[in-house]
C-alpha cells in the first residue's frame, strides 16, 4: 500500500470530506496501478508532498523576502531564500525567481521583461513541437506578439540552425526562443546564442522539459547562453508543479518585477518550500544517477519501439522524451493509439508530428525511472506498446501485466 494512503492528513480528509477523500484515494490508486509515461509527469518525493501540504499554504506573502506587503513573513522569507540559493547553486545562475506559478507564467514574465506588444519573436512552430506560449493564436503570446516559426529538417527531424539564422536575418526578431515540448534532442544553446547576437536579439531558453536533466548533469545547461531561462519545477526535476526563471544579475530586478507585481499576486509559499526540497534532492549524487538512468531508459524505449515498427522521430533521443508515429503499425493515428493504450494501463500523450503528417505519440521515462524501472522494463514496455497499437495482444492480458509491473515498482513503497 502506498505510504501516501497512510498519512494523518488523509485520515482527516476521510473523516471530514469522504467524497473528496475517495477522489484522492482513487487517483492515488490509478497512479500506482498504471504506467505513467506522460513526459511532463513524475512522482514527487514524500518530503516534497509534505511541504505542499504544510501550514505554509496559509501564508499570504506578496512581494519578496525582506520586502513583503504582509506581516508575519519572517519564516516564509527563510524558505524562499533557501529555494533561491539552492537553485542558483544547482544551475550556476546569478539570479533565480522561484515564484512563477507555472512554466507558462515564467514565459509570460520573460516576455514582459524583454518585449513589448507587437514585437517580432522567432520560435519553434507548434507543428514542430513548440509550446502554446511560442505563438499559438489561442494563447496570449500569439495575440500580443508577431511570431515567426522555425521548424525541423524534413529528413532528420532536427533543428536546422542555418534555417534559424536565415529567418532571424530576414525578420530581425526582438527575441529568439529555443525550446520545445516534444523535441527529443539536445538544443545547441551556443548556436542559438550566436544567431541572437548576429541579429541583435535577446535569447530566451524555454527549458521546461530538460531542466531536471540539466540538474543531474545529463543535458547541457542553457543558463550560460540565454538572457532568461524559463523552466518548470516538476517533470524530470521531481518537484511540485510550478515555474522559475533564471538570469544574470543585470536582469534580476526586472525579472522579479515582471513576476510580481506585473503578472502575479501573492507567492504560493507551500509550493516554494516544496521547490526548495526538490532543489536539495536534485543536488545529490542519487539524483545525478537518476537523471542519467532516465536518459538510458528513454534510449532503450526508443530503440525497442523502432524495432517494433514505429517511426521514431529524429531516430532516437538524447533526453527523457521519445516521440513516435504509430502509422506504420497498420495506419493507426495517434489519438486512436492513445485510447487503446490507456485501456491497457499505458498512459501517455499525443503530439504534433512535423510537416503536417498527423498526430504521433509522446512518451517520457521520468516517472517509471523514479519507480526504479530500468532498461529491461523499458524493453518490455516497448513490446507491450507495440502489441496494443497493432491490436496483436489481448488488452486485458496486457492490463494485468502492466498492473503486475507497476505493483513490483510502486511509486511510494510502504515502510
Count CB neighbours of 61 within 10 A: 23
C-alpha span between 234 and 245 (Å, rounded): 14
Annotated active-site residue 150? The verdict is no
Annotated active-site residue 206? The verdict is yes
Q: Which residues of 26-46 are buried (b: 16+ CB within 10 A; e: fewer)?
A: eebeebbebbbbbbbbbbbbe
Q: Please give the DSSP secondary-structure letter assigned to residue 154.
A: T
Provide the grid cell at 2: 502506498
Catalytic residue, candidates 5, 7, 60, 165: 60
Provide the grid cell at 142: 500569439
Provide the grid cell at 369: 525511472
Q: Please give the DSSP secondary-structure letter assigned to residue 56.
A: G
Provide the grid cell at 183: 523535441
Catalytic residue, candidates 62, 153, 160, 306: 62
Annotated active-site residue 235? The verdict is yes
**Residues, the chain:** 415
Give the HSE-up count for residue 403: Cα atoms under 13 Å, Cβ half-sphere.
10
DSSP string, 60-82: ---EETTEESSS--HHHHHHHHH
Provide the grid cell at 137: 493564436
Catalytic residue, candidates 133, 232, 317, 370: 232
Annotated active-site residue 336? The verdict is no
In this structure, the dihedral spanned by the alpha carbons of residues 65, 69, 75 and 76, taken in order and rounded to 10 degrees, is -70
Catalytic residue, candidates 14, 241, 257, 380: 241
Catalytic residue, candidates 41, 80, 206, 325: 206
Max Cα–Cα distance, the chain, nearest Å: 64
Catalytic residue, candidates 86, 174, 193, 235: 235
Provide the grid cell at 308: 517494433
Count CB neighbours of 357 within 10 A: 13
Annotated active-site residue 165? The verdict is no
Q: Which helix (H) or strand (E) holds 295?
A: helix 285-307
Write the CA distances from 310 to 39, 109, 213, 344, 393, integer angstroms.
18, 39, 25, 18, 16
C-alpha span between 204 and 7 (Å, rounded): 41
C-alpha span between 169 and 66 (Å, rounded): 44
Is 266 in a helix, a strand, or coil?
A: coil
Q: Cell 503536417 maps to which residue?
A: 356
Kindly list the catalytic residues: 60, 62, 206, 232, 235, 241
Amino acid at each position: 500500500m502506498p505510504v501516501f494512503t497512510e498519512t494523518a492528513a488523509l485520515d482527516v480528509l476521510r473523516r471530514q470530506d469522504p467524497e473528496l477523500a475517495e477522489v484522492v484515494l482513487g487517483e492515488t490508486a490509478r497512479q500506482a496501478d498504471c504506467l505513467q509515461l506522460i513526459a511532463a509527469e513524475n512522482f514527487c518525493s514524500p518530503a516534497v508532498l509534505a511541504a505542499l501540504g504544510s501550514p505554509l499554504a496559509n501564508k499570504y506573502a506578496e512581494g519578496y523576502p525582506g520586502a513583503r506587503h504582509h506581516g508575519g513573513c519572517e519564516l516564509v522569507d527563510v524558505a524562499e531564500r533557501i529555494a533561491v540559493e539552492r537553485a542558483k547553486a544547482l544551475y550556476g545562475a546569478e539570479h533565480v525567481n522561484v515564484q512563477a506559478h507555472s512554466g507558462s507564467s515564467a514565459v509570460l514574465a520573460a516576455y514582459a521583461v524583454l518585449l513589448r506588444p507587437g514585437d517580432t519573436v522567432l520560435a519553434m512552430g507548434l507543428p514542430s513541437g513548440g509550446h502554446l506560449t511560442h505563438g499559438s493564436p489561442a494563447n496570449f503570446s500569439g495575440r500580443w506578439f508577431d511570431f515567426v516559426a522555425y521548424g525541423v529538417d524534413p529528413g532528420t527531424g532536427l533543428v536546422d540552425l542555418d534555417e534559424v539564422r536565415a529567418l532571424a536575418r530576414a525578420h530581425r526578431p526582438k527575441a529568439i526562443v529555443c525550446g520545445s515540448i516534444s523535441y527529443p534532442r539536445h538544443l545547441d544553446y551556443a548556436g542559438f546564442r550566436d544567431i541572437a547576437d548576429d541579429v541583435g536579439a535577446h535569447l530566451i531558453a524555454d527549458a521546461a522539459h530538460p531542466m531536471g536533466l540539466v540538474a543531474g548533469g545529463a543535458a547541457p545547461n542553457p543558463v550560460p547562453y540565454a538572457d532568461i531561462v524559463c523552466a518548470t519545477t516538476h517533470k524530470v526535476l521531481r518537484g511540485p508543479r510550478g515555474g522559475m526563471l533564471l538570469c544574470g544579475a543585470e536582469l534580476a530586478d526586472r525579472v522579479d518585477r515582471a513576476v510580481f507585481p506585473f503578472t502575479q499576486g501573492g507567492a504560493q509559499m507551500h509550493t516554494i518550500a516544496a521547490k526548495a526540497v526538490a532543489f536539495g534532492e536534485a543536488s545529490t549524487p542519487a539524483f545525478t544517477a537518476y537523471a542519467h538512468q532516465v536518459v538510458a531508459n528513454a534510449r532503450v524505449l526508443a530503440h525497442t519501439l523502432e524495432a517494433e515498427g514505429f517511426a521514431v522521430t529524429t531516430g532516437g533521443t538524447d533526453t527523457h522524451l521519445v516521440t513516435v508515429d504509430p502509422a506504420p503499425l497498420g495506419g493507426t493515428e495517434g489519438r486512436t493509439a492513445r485510447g487503446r493504450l490507456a485501456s491497457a494501463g499505458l498512459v501517455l500523450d499525443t503530439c504534433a508530428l512535423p510537416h503536417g503528417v498527423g498526430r504521433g505519440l509522446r512518451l517520457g521515462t521520468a516517472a517509471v525511472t523514479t519507480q526504479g524501472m530500468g532498461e529491461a522494463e523499458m524493453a518490455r514496455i516497448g513490446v507491450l506498446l507495440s502489441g496494443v497499437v497493432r491490436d496483436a495482444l489481448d488488452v486485458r492480458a496486457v492490463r494485468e501485466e502492466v498492473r503486475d509491473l507497476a505493483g513490483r515498482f510502486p511509486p511510494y513503497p510502504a515502510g
